[in-house]
Amino acid sequence: MLANGREEVVKSCVSLPELNAQVFCHSSKNVTKTECCYTDFCNNITLRLPLGLPLLVQRTIARTIVLQEIVGKGRFGEVWHGKWCGEDVAVKIFSSRDERSWFREAEIYQTVMLRHENILGFIAADNKDNGTWTQLWLVSEYHEQGSLFDYLNRGTVTVQGMVRLALSVASGLAHLHMEIVGTQGKPAIAHRDLKSKNILVKRNETCAIADLGLAVKHDSVLNTIDIPQNPRVGTRRYMAPEILEDAMNTSIFESFKRADIYSLGLVYWEIARRCSVGGITEEYQLPYYDLVPSDPSIEDMRRVVCEQKLRPSIPNQWQSCEALRVLARLMRECWRSSGAARLTALRVKKTISQLCVPEGPKA
């Protein structure tokens, strides 16, 4: 068995745009092709997965999990609640069609130093071939309260609860965005699909950011981004104006962080509506619920967000509560049209944490 902490080497096929060159496919008998047969890792690249659990341990864990019930379905397969040695785990099962998504998500989760209390805790990845098809598993911590979207739909939150949720999301995002320099450092990472359905609520009523399958990493030495980016990959409703207009400068990593901040502003609006002050709350709604259809096209979103420059409305009664007032100001500063004018995750985190300072005795 490999020692924990050592680099793991994994082979995987890469698609043509990812390879950025012609593909050499084993099945083509030494003829260079532009397609890959995707069997036996034909056009293989070697990927290094640093610092995860040893692969054999990951596999052993995955193969001793007993699936309990399905808890959700997303674009890339199903999420199950499972039991491993009496512990609750979540298992995201991808179809072999989505092998690249499975691999990418596992790879991002195993980035050195990514672990943080407000980022979903990754446990293991496994690919299981039963002879007929391949099952791709991603095992993570299980959060019985489900997503922030589920949580806000189920009930309201107190002012304190709202601040706790908002601060924890900002902390997770600030960690993701931050580059830590040094051998035990981490690259800056942008999420690219931040939304209430991709944030989980833990038992202690704080959040964990999940679904890192679309994330991109920044190499600050070479100033490169680790995969070619199709800028329009996230969820249309949460896309920043520059993405909707196809005007994002994808060669600057900062652009991706700024687009995440726009989405964060929308998530804060969803949380704030459910905050109960003096018994008044708003019903749960998705951002732009009143302005676009349920599965909006890019064009629907572009018209509202870029052309009409509309944003979710901020109820008057939010002015009567300090925390809501601060959060409303933050939202506006997160969803500005110009990416450069938006706040950073660290700034948002600091502003909210000042709200949390317990009141000292009055002089």
Ligand X SMILES: Nc1ncnc2c1ncn2[C@@H]1O[C@H](COP(=O)(O)OP(=O)(O)OP(=O)(O)O)[C@@H](O)[C@H]1O
Binding-site positions for ATP read: 92
Please pick, among 193, 211, 219, 295, the residue that the annotation labels catalytic: 193
Give the DSSP H/E element, type plus range, for residue 350.
helix 345-356
Nearest distance, CB of residue 57 and Mg ion, angstroms = 26
H/E segment holding residue 282: none
Q: Which residues bind ligand X (CB under 6 A)?
A: 71-72, 74-75, 79, 90, 120, 140-143, 146-147, 150, 197-198, 200, 210-211, 235
* Dihedral sign for Cα atoms in the order 11, 17, 23, 28: positive
Residues annotated within a binding site:
92
Q: What is the dihedral of CA 63, 69, 71, 77, to 10 degrees?
A: 50
Q: How far apart are CA 98 and CA 127, in angstroms?
A: 12
Choice between 54 and 146, CB closer to ligand X = 146
Cβ proximity to ligand X, 122 vs 253, nearer residue: 122
Select the span of 54-62, 184-192, 195-203, 236-244 touching Mg ion (CB under 5 A): 195-203
Nearer to ligand X, 164 or 197 (CB): 197
Site residues for Mg ion, window 67-96 (CB under 5 A)?
74
Comparing CA positions, the residue from 84, 207, 192, 60 lying closest to residue 140 is: 84
| CA pair distance 260, 234, nearest whole angstrom | 10
For residues 103 and 340, what is the distance between their CA atoms, to the nearest angstrom?
32
Least distance (Å) between residue 120 CB and Mg ion: 10
Amino acid at 5: G
Residue 72 contact among Mg ion, ligand X, none, beta carbon within 5 to 8 Å by kind: ligand X
300 is catalytic: no
Binding partner at 142 among Mg ion, ligand X, none, C-beta below 5 to 8 Å by kind: ligand X
198 binds Mg ion (CB under 5 A): yes
Q: Which residues are part of the catalytic machinery? A: 193
